[in-house]
Amino acid sequence: MSKTNQATETKAEPAAGRAEVGPTMQGSEIVVACLEREGVDTIFAYPGGASMEMHQALTRSKKIRTILPRHEQGGAFAAGGYGRATGRAGVCMATSGPGATNLVTGIADAYMDSVPLIAITGQVPQPMIGKGAFQETDIFGLTLPIVKHSYLVTDVNEIPRVFKEAFYVAQTGRPGPVVIDIPKNIQQVRTQPVFPKEIHLRGYNPDKRASDLALNEMIGLIEKSERPVLYVGGGIITGQAHAELRQFAEAAQIPVTTTLMGCGAFPETHPLSLRWLGMHGAAYANWAVSGEFREGKLAAPGADLLLAFGVRFDDRVTGKVQQFCEHGTIVHVDIDPSEINKNKPANLPVVSDVRYALGKLGAMVKARPIAKKFAAWHRQIAEWKAKAPFRYRVTEEVLKSQHVRDHMGGDARQVIMPQAVIELLHELTHGEAILTTGVGQHQMWAAQYYPFQFPRQFLTSAGLGAMGFGYPAALGAKVARPDRQVIDIDGDGSFLMNIQELATAHIEGIAAKAVVLNNQHLGMVMQWEDRFYSGNRGHTYLGHADDRRQVYPDFVAMARSFNVRAERVLYQRELRPALERMLEAEEPYVLDVITPYTEHVLPFIPSGRTVADMIWQQ
């Protein structure tokens, strides 16, 4: 039997007539057949001794495209990008030992952001397990805290069941990563496989539904409310509930704010949209939830009813959690019962599929419209929106900065602000591009200045915050959505971490673009240094210590060494034509945009603080 990460082995026995017997084949060939049966069209896989049998079998597949990343982490992030862009499980594969451990960050990223992912690893032969064999690592044990489920296959006959279960678990309920570890001898042995057509797992119920009693109680709370807010997250997107959310919000006339993972779940240009909230979210969204404070005192109250759907009350959203929506009644709807009351107690906890709950609520409100339209509440929100939109300006500090002296050659007014790059990109792409990001200031600016209109448009490492995510994720998204413009908004620190994937882009002909907002620093850490450490630089400068006028490293030269088109942009007058050339290119492209390092991401609620401590203007 296969070892699983449950205390009690879960068995799935195919019922009579619900299985198909295949021809005799090797274990590695059964793996490929299982992938084909699950509709997998792409796998991101780096070969090695313990996985080469499966690579040999993949060469004979007529249905699966095998993409060779240049690092296993790049492959895991690319599979994650594929999964985020489609909602179907992305698939990656690596050999044992260091190959498997290089997948770990990508697996953890998928776990934190509830992304469906299948990570297949080769393992040393069974007789060598536990003996310290060459390239042996217990990847099953190593990944236990960061997977939804995992398997160590010890019987070749279990492969069809394991793969059927793995895809079912990864893609249903709250999605997540599943690891399948397969010893080399299991890949080599031959058998006649039995492929189950259906899987039933005892104790696993991914289709949880709210009771009518709970839904009616929600309607009652809305009718009693004066200042309701819908606070929604990535669960709306993974649950395919965006249409139901919009129908309900419009019917009830309730403003909507999202988490970073929820960007695109509700159109951000909609009159009811509050964009996203949290540490660097819209000031007006934070005020709408927790109230506006002036000189430490509450000046205008926030929500008296918070309808939280598909969220986990993450600390980057809540700040000091006890004071998050401190005076509001909280309704929490989530498909994962472990999230209920974990971070923030709920007055009305509901375990349910969010699409079902929102669909029912929308129908209930349509049948019996909410008498109130919350006119006073909408006026207050309109005042907040007018008072504190996302905005920036070229300050005297920027014009007098070392950046201008080093790079602008006396043409200081031509300095390129990072926010302006995102705004122009939004204009040129008509707001329809899929964006991926690295992690840092550029990630926040991408979310602030590119209003998202639809789900799966903003793909970012939100929970884990993994630098190096952006470009490989863009490769996965572009493979999944070749019809769409896919652009990685990155920083010079993040981009360098997986720059080798430019080789993958060129060799595989994947036209993913990258815009690098290059300030020669680890910008977000530098911002904290400026705010909390008197500007003392703790190893956050990435450039050339002996010559700060030199942009280091030379991303243009590096990209061209991979045969990828690239150019550097220094001045405002160069930006539009450079972006147009990048967007018109039908091949990978890198745009290295030099920006000032003096700029901070605002608004900013310091970690562990409250809305009362928010810095929202320069």
Tell me which residue of 518, 480, 477, 507 sits closest to 77, measured CA to CA: 477
Instruction: Report CA Rg, the chain.
Output: 25
Half-sphere CA count of 596, side-chain side, radius 13 A? 28
Provide the residue type at 350 as one letter: V
- The position carrying tokens 């019809």 is 483
Tell me 570's DSSP state.
-
List the beta strands (DSSP E) in 470-612: 486-491, 513-518, 565-569, 589-594
- Please identify every residue annotated as catalytic: 72, 134-135, 184, 524
CB 586, CB 408: distance < 8 Å: no
Half-sphere CA count of 204, side-chain side, radius 13 A? 22
Tell me which residue of 426, 425, 448, 386 sits closest to 599, measured CA to CA: 448
CA distance 455 to 316: 21
CA distance 49 to 136: 11
Residues ≥6 apart with Cβ < 8 Å to 216: 364
CA distance 215 to 212: 5
In the numeric block, which tokens belong to residue 407?
């790079």
Provide the residue type at 99 as one letter: G
- 34 to 2, 30, 40, 204, 532: CA distances (angstroms): 16, 6, 9, 22, 53
3-state secondary structure of 118: strand
| Dihedral angle, C-alpha 342, 345, 348, 352, nearest 10 ° | -10
- 524 to 313, 366, 518, 527, 540: CA distances (angstroms): 22, 45, 13, 5, 9
